[in-house]
């Protein structure tokens, strides 16, 4: 009885998992060709005096200083809108990435960033004489927030979705599908066909070069499956995994032999394009 129940729950879970992912994949397919990455060089804009008017903002319960703070700042949202034509940006599928001096790059959905007021603080009103900032203590080191610290006046400090980076030098706008684009065989029409099918049926469970799901094994790195499977058997396996393995976890996906061949052609193409696993 217990196992029946577990099975039922499991099947529901797998069904939800697959159907949710279907929707996601659909979106990805439509937006694979996105705008090129856009960069806002804040330091360069400051040098050119193009940051806009500065004001004093009050941040209650600042998450870096853990108290209420006042900063001299410019309006970050206004600046972004002035420098980037947002009507040309696919906002739902874009991330805003904050590049910091040490290479730290926190990111958040652009859509969320656009929802609230944000400010680039460049001077701490309570800073001791001769300094722009009250010291920040981090892992026993004294830091300051130069050149910019991104703050919000109406976001609670414990809202983890909003990022409060200091030492910020640039904003980037990046496609959420940038990783997917790295798997695209741009210069090969045949492989492109298989890539479309791969995205639709496989990527939620399998990674190529570390990009993709983790439920099934990585298919390309360090060895491509096309290097240790016989090609015709690989094609058959993908059509019907259960004909090869007992109690196989990979589902039969209802793809044709021709489609499977296209996918294998794509996998062969990618076997020439191995990359170090990311993340």
Q: CB 38: neighbour CB atoms within 10 A?
A: 17
Cβ contacts of residue 74 below 8 Å, gap of 6+?
51, 52, 53, 54, 55, 119, 120, 122
Based on the shown chain and the rule CB under 6 A, indicate whether residue 242 belongs to the binding site for ligand HEC: no
Nearest to 35 by CA among 99, 84, 1: 84
Instruction: Please identify which residue in 22, 249, 257, 278 interacts with ligand HEC, judged by CB under 6 A.
Output: 249
235 binds ligand HEC (CB under 6 A): no
Q: Which is nearer to ligand HEC, 69 or 201 (CB)?
A: 201
Task: Give the number of residues in contact with ligand HEC, rule: CB under 6 A.
Answer: 22
Taking contact as CB under 6 A, which single stretch among the options 4-12, 73-81, 144-152, 241-249 is the one that binds ligand HEC? 241-249
263 forms part of the interface with ligand HEC (CB under 6 A): yes
Nearest distance from C-beta of residue 182 to ligand HEC, angstroms: 18
Q: Please select the residue that binds ligand HEC; options are 131, 217, 243, 277, rule is CB under 6 A.
A: 217
Show contacts with ligand HEC in window 142-181 (CB under 6 A).
none
CB of 17 or CB of 136, closer to ligand HEC: 17
Query: Nearer to ligand HEC by C-beta: 211 or 263?
Result: 263
Pairs from 36-40 (Cβ < 8 Å, separation ≥ 24): 37/172, 37/173, 37/174, 37/175, 37/178, 38/84, 38/89, 38/172, 38/173, 39/170, 39/171, 39/172, 39/173, 40/79, 40/80, 40/83, 40/84, 40/170, 40/171, 40/172
State residue 21 phi and psi, 5-degree precision.
-70, -30
Cα 34 from Cα 91, distance rounded (Å): 11
Phi, psi values for residue 12, rounded to 5°? -60, -45
Q: Does 231 bind ligand HEC (CB under 6 A)?
A: no
Q: Which lies closer to ligand HEC via its Cβ, residue 171 or residue 198?
A: 198
Nearer to ligand HEC, 139 or 246 (CB): 246
Contact call for residue 257 and ligand HEC (CB under 6 A): no
Q: Contact region for ligand HEC (CB under 6 A) — 41-49, 133-141, 217-225, 271-279?
A: 217-225
Pick 155 or 238: Cβ nearer ligand HEC: 238
Q: Which residues contact 81 (CB under 8 A, 6 or more apart)?
A: none
Per CB under 6 A, 238 contacts ligand HEC? yes
**Does position 12 bind ligand HEC by CB under 6 A?**
no
Cα torsion 30, 32, 35, 38: sign: positive
26 binds ligand HEC (CB under 6 A): no
Residues 174-213 that bind ligand HEC (CB under 6 A): 201-202, 204-206
Beta strand spans in the chain (E): 38-41, 54-62, 67-75, 94-100, 107-109, 118-124, 136-138, 141-143, 149-152, 168-175, 207-208, 211-212
Residue 251 touches ligand HEC, criterion: CB under 6 A: yes
Instruction: Please report, as ranges, the residues that interact with ligand HEC according to CB under 6 A.
Output: 201-202, 204-206, 215-217, 219, 225, 234, 237-238, 241, 245, 248-251, 253, 255, 263
């Amino acid at each position: 009885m217990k196992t029946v129940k577990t099975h039922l729950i499991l099947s529901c879970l797998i069904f939800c998992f697959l159907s949710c992912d279907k929707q996601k994949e659909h979106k990805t397919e439509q937006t694979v060709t996105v705008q090129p990455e856009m960069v806002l060089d804040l330091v360069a804009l400051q040098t050119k005096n193009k940051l806009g008017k500065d004001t004093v903002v009050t941040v209650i319960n600042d998450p870096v200083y853990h108290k209420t703070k006042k900063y001299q700042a410019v309006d970050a949202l206004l600046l972004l809108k002035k420098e980037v034509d947002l009507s040309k940006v696919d906002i739902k599928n874009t991330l805003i990435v904050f590049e910091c001096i040490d290479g730290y790059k926190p990111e958040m959905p652009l859509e969320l960033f656009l929802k609230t007021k944000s400010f680039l603080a460049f001077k701490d009103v309570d800073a001791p004489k001769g300094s722009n900032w009250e010291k920040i203590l981090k892992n026993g080191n004294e830091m300051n927030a130069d050149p910019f610290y991104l703050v919000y006046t109406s976001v609670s400090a414990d809202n983890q979705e909003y990022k409060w980076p200091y030492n910020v030098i640039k904003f980037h706008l990046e496609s959420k599908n940038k990783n997917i684009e790295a798997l695209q065989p741009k210069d090969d029409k045949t492989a492109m066909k298989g890539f479309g099918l791969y995205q639709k049926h496989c990527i939620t469970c399998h990674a190529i070069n570390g990009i993709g799901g983790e439920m099934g094994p990585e298919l390309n790195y360090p060895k491509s499956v096309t290097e240790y499977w016989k090609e015709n058997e690989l094609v058959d396996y993908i059509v019907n995994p259960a004909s090869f393995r007992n109690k196989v976890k990979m589902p039969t996906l209802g793809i044709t032999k021709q489609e499977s061949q296209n996918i294998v052609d794509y996998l062969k193409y990618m076997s020439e394009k191995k990359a170090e696993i990311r993340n």
